[in-house]
Structure 1
Amino acid sequence: MGSFEATTTATDAAAATAAAITIPIIDIGPFLAGNETATPAIAAALRAACSNQGFLQVVGHSVPAALQTRFLSAVAAFFALPLRDKAALDQSRSACYRGYERLGGQKLDELDAEATTDQKEGFSVRPERALGRFLAGPNQWPPEGVLPGFREVYMEYFWAVHELSKAMFQLMALSLGLEKTYFDAFAADPDGICLCRAHHYPPTPPDVLGRTRGVGAHTDFGALTLLLQDSVGGLEVLHKRTGTWHAVPPVEGAYVCNIGDLMQRWTNDRYQSTMHRVISPLSNMDRYSCAFFNDGALDVVIEALPGCVEEGESPVYAPLRVEEHIVERYVQSYGAGGTLIGKAVE
């Protein structure tokens, strides 16, 4: 076999592999129903997804479809408000960075230093807290007279997805051969910094590459993400072995679930966070989504989990406090978009 033929065959094989990549869809309904017979297979499917690509879609979950619909409608209504009403809730007015995020306020692209800022606007909510620790504090809300019922449906949705995230952490524990409750305190900590951030991606003109960056290529900061996306599409993941990008087709009612950098550290690279991006709509349709990040409490120390370090080997990463990691990533990503994020509120 000549070298050209060998190269062509290898290229064709890589292309075939890339074309065959799919994001697994996992039904967690039996686990939530307490079916102990079905649970091991669900945990095994999660382990395969996290070990391979780090992305999956979850169906059979506990968040009602009607609540998802009401929430996305409320989000669309918020982003349709006049800019002056949204700007009144700008995160620059919040000591804990809650509220409205302007178009281009963040730049997450980790692969292209010349990338444009992210072409999305957002609205961020966390649990209500007293001011003090990094990201702790009160939320900002539009006045009831401006957007009736918005706060109520947003928080109803927040706590529903928070419950789902706790269940996913239990499955994560089982997938790693740990007790189901191993992550319970981390996932349910009432002083945690869970974030529920809604996004709006307006249609934008294509850049020189024929596409636009709704969100640049990045890995998520924390431990576990649950994303609700509408039917427009645009989310893409980077396949590690082939270096090719692949769409995550919207599945009605499903949650796209992916692990973040903290879980990669926790599992000593057994589970690796995956680069992903959002390509803005190139039609006249707006895209809406909402990402829920359960990153635990600031004082939790992330170090290699039991069973994730081979005998005779050392952990890949040194122990790291959640706060140290989150502060660094927030300062970097928002600073790249020209948004100043302080390291703490004194």
Structure 2
Amino acid sequence: MGSIEEPAPTVKIPIIDVSGFLAGDAKATKACAEELKEACENQGFLQVVGHCVSAETQRKFLSAIARFFALPLADKEKVSQSNSPCYRGYERIGGQKLDELSDDATPDQKEGFSMRPERPLGKFLAGPNQWPDEDLVPGFQEAYWEYFNAVHSLSKAMFQLMALSLGLEKTYFDAFAADPDGICLCRAHHYPPTPPDAAGRTRGVGAHTDFGALTLLLQDTVGGLEVLHKKTKTWHSVTPVEGAYVCNIGDLMQRWTNNRYQSTMHRVISPLSQTDRYSCAFFNDGALDMMIEAIPTCVPAGEKPAYEPLKVEKHIVDRYVQSYGAGGTYIEQKA
């Protein structure tokens, strides 16, 4: 495996308490919107506390995914995403390469498990989920759905706060974030520890920006997430805050806001220890049929938008084909 430079010193990522906003407090809501605006304009990353996902829901979920990833490979491969026409289920180590900075980077050193809302087969990414046998991982599916529903609610709330931060009506993004036909992805990750005799620290996930509009990441206390500081172009560790969600904007939101809010390059460095790392990313990417066009108030008077209108489906398909193809995984493009 390729080695990677030592991590840079920790940079302080803004921590925003959204409890007042969720409770409907007008003063707290205004303050939260201002904090979010500053975080998105300056860095594109923040951590969210005071949210609506209970510690018990998080605990049950992290326990369930740890038990799944501890299964023998043969059992995990029974629900391999290669068996799924909509790319759900287990993802082997090295199946994807997200690194956008180096063609020589190794594939991502993580394994994953993906699920989305249940849908009939048809459009790209739409279809049924795969689940391991209940006797192999008791309570796995129940814990996953409980977690999915809770974090989806938080995601919809964060889109409303995002709208307020841009001076828009609170409901501006509702059709995107709460669409019943949307393609929200809830993907759990396991990063095996780097062996002591390894040549260097390895990329759990290579440097990349997220495909969609807004990501909510739950991580354990092991650490490894690093963010590229925009002004200094240096990598900085994101200190885990127990129970918090790392929130960042993705490429679709960058297009939507006409570069006012820019997606941020980030990566995960595998832990150099005997400790496994677990995390889960929730991507609310909206409906495939939606067209993303620059918000009029984000386009200066007399200027044209920086981007042409883009259909969500085309953007997501292109990014999936690129990132999975780089890891040797074939992604079928729907006609």
Q: Does 1:343 align with 2:326?
A: no
Equivalent runs, 1:132-171 vs 2, <5 Å: 132-171=122-161
Counterpart selection for 1:268 from 258, 272, 283: 258
Partner of 2:269: 279
Counterpart selection for 2:24 from 27, 34, 45: 34
Q: Is the 8 A contact 1:228 1:289 kept in 2?
A: yes
Q: Which runs of 5+ in 1 are unaligned?
A: 1-17
Counterpart selection for 1:64 from 37, 40, 54: 54
Partner of 1:6: none
Q: Does 1:73 align with 2:41?
A: no
Counterpart selection for 2:193 from 183, 203, 210: 203
| CA shift for structure 1 position 208 | 8.4
Partner of 2:103: 113
Q: Does 1:229 align with 2:213?
A: no
Whole-angstrom CA distance in 1 between matches of 2:15 and 2:127: 36
Q: Which runs of 5+ in 2 are unaligned?
A: 1-7
| CA shift for structure 1 position 206 | 7.5
CA RMSD in angstroms, aligned pairs only? 1.3
**2:57 partner letter:** L
Whole-angstrom CA distance in 1 between matches of 2:167 and 2:279: 33
Equivalent runs, 1:230-309 vs 2, <5 Å: 230-309=220-299
- The TM-score normalised by the length of structure 2 is 0.96
- Other structure's SS at 2:26 match: coil
Partner of 2:5: none
| CA shift for structure 1 position 204 | 2.2
Counterpart selection for 1:192 from 165, 169, 182: 182
| CA shift for structure 1 position 148 | 1.3
| CA shift for structure 1 position 205 | 3.8
Partner of 1:96: 86
**1:163 partner letter:** S
Whole-angstrom CA distance in 1 between matches of 2:226 and 2:140: 30
| CA shift for structure 1 position 145 | 1.6
Whole-angstrom CA distance in 2 between matches of 1:209 and 1:296: 41
**2:132 partner letter:** P
- Residue 171 to residue 209, structure 1, CA distance change in 2 (3 Å): farther
**2:265 partner letter:** M
Partner of 1:310: 300
Q: Is the 8 A contact 1:169 1:187 kept in 2?
A: yes
Partner of 2:3: none
- The TM-score normalised by the length of structure 1 is 0.93
Partner of 1:334: 324
The total of aligned residue pairs comes to 328
Whole-angstrom CA distance in 2 between matches of 1:192 and 1:203: 35
Q: Does 1:216 align with 2:216?
A: no
**1:42 partner letter:** C
Partner of 1:174: 164
- Residue 20 to residue 110, structure 1, CA distance change in 2 (3 Å): closer
- Other structure's SS at 1:117 match: coil
Percent identity (aligned): 77
- Other structure's SS at 1:328 match: helix
| CA shift for structure 1 position 21 | 3.6
| CA shift for structure 1 position 241 | 1.4
Whole-angstrom CA distance in 2 between matches of 1:54 and 1:271: 7
Q: Is the 8 A contact 1:205 1:212 kept in 2?
A: no
**1:242 partner letter:** T
Whole-angstrom CA distance in 2 between matches of 1:19 and 1:248: 9
